[in-house]
Structure 1
Amino acid sequence: MDLDVQVANFISTHVDLFDTLTLGNVYAPGNSLSYTAQPAGPAIRYYDGRRRRSFAFAITAKNVDGITCIDTLNAISNVMEQATPVSIKSADGSFNFISAKMTESYKFVATVQDDDSQNAQLYSVYQGAFSVQVII
């Protein structure tokens, strides 16, 4: 199923991101954005064999400016909540998008350094949790 790829592509094309959105929990040096799949609840099975299912993901933003992280996560939330069934399409026909929402407000995760030098840049790390509902 290409859900994660299609959601990440949708976000990347509809939000002015400060860095490339990378799939997986990647803490790259410098500013970074990562998309990580998370566990979600059970599916609802229909009589015709299709299932309505929620999938969860988190976006982690790392930037020298914490406000940039917050603004980016808010912009992602706004775009995802406005997405319609025609907004996000499966390239391989594996899902039909229904809706998306931010399930947990952004939260401060940590202040990190890329290296241990005395003059190393400090970065703020924030994370927002989201879910999408699809029919598979």
Structure 2
Amino acid sequence: MGQADLDLDAAVNRYIASKVDLYTKIELGNSYHTGNTLSYTTQPTGPATRYYNGIRKRAFSFAITAKHANGMVALNTISLIMSAMENATHVSIKSSNNSFKFINAKMTESATFKGTVLDDANKGSDEYSVYQGVFSVEVILI
């Protein structure tokens, strides 16, 4: 099974949704929808470690962005997600297609204020606070 089949982002998303009371579902990519949003982006970090038996260990970075009309809700949601990920064990996050085995996760950037945005340029637009947190996930690719 190749890396194109890796379902790590979906598995992490499922785990977070099961552990944190989210104000909306988390979407892949930068979410520019109106209203309160949660989104994530992911990418490999550093080279994979390849062992003699063919197993590869790799880390992936997840950036979670929360946009909410109430800045404290966005900040608290990011903090809860980071805590849930740091408490994940090797049996907490599972691949649906057996493409990886979860090892661990750790926060690499605590919740950070990224700015205030308007949903559109019209007068009277709602103002939203944006916070982001980053964690890395280490997995064995199968």
TM-score, length-scaled by structure 2: 0.92
Does 2:67 correspond to 1:62?
yes
Q: How many residues align?
A: 136
Distance in 2, Cα, partners of 1:30 & 1:110:
15
Superposed displacement of residue 10, structure 1: 0.6
DSSP-derived class of the 2:92 partner: coil
Out of 128, 136, 139, which is 1:131 matched to?
136
Superposed displacement of residue 38, structure 1: 3.0
Identity of aligned residues (%): 54
CA RMSD of aligned residues (A): 0.9
After TM superposition, list the pairs within 5 Å mapping 1:1-136 onto structure 2.
1-136=6-141
Letter in structure 2 aligned against 1:47? Y
Structure 2 runs not aligned, ≥5 long: 1-5
DSSP-derived class of the 2:47 partner: coil
Letter in structure 2 aligned against 1:78? S
TM-score, length-scaled by structure 1: 0.96
Deviations 1:46-84 (A, max 9, x none): 110101110011000000111111101110011101111
Distance in 2, Cα, partners of 1:124 & 1:39:
28
DSSP-derived class of the 1:40 partner: strand
Distance in 2, Cα, partners of 1:116 & 1:35:
25
- 4+ runs deviating over 4 angstroms: none
